[in-house]
Amino acid sequence: EDQVTQSPEALRLQEGESSSLNCSYTVSGLRGLFWYRQDPGKGPEFLFTLYSAGEEKEKERLKATLTKKESFLHITAPKPEDSATYLCAVRHVGGYNKLIFGAGTRLAVHP
């Protein structure tokens, strides 16, 4: 069964304390892995797309990496404004464009 699992469910960091969020997936034939940021009461905001193992993407304090079974979202020296829920999603071969989402990681960065 196609599945996306994110860990941890929640993460509390002090400002400047770097960490990583995990997204593990089991799908047949990955067509893309997507990271989104979601603020409370808002729609998800697109961050990154990764297509193949070994690929990396960076944006400000965020860096996403991909292996054959999982992706990591590394947050370097986070600031309070990085507090949000981070969602991971995958598309797979034969999935008819369907995005399969994980439950997300709620990140809180305290000053």
Partner 1 sequence: DGGITQSPKYLFRKEGQNVTLSCEQNLNHDAMYWYRQDPGQGLRLIYYSQIVNDFQKGDIAEGYSVSREKKESFPLTVTSAQKNPTAFYLCASSMGQADTEAFFGQGTRLTVV
Q: Which residues bind partner 1 (CB under 8 A)?
A: 4, 31-32, 34, 36, 41-46, 49, 51, 87, 89, 91, 93, 95-104
What residues form DSSP beta bridges with 24? Answer: 5, 70
What SS3 state is found at 67? coil
Q: How far is the CB of 98 from partner 1 (least distance, A)?
A: 6
C-beta of 32: minimal distance to partner 1 in Å? 5
Contacts 24+ apart (CB under 8 A), 41-49: 44/87, 47/86
Residue 18 or 52 with smaller CB distance to partner 1: 52
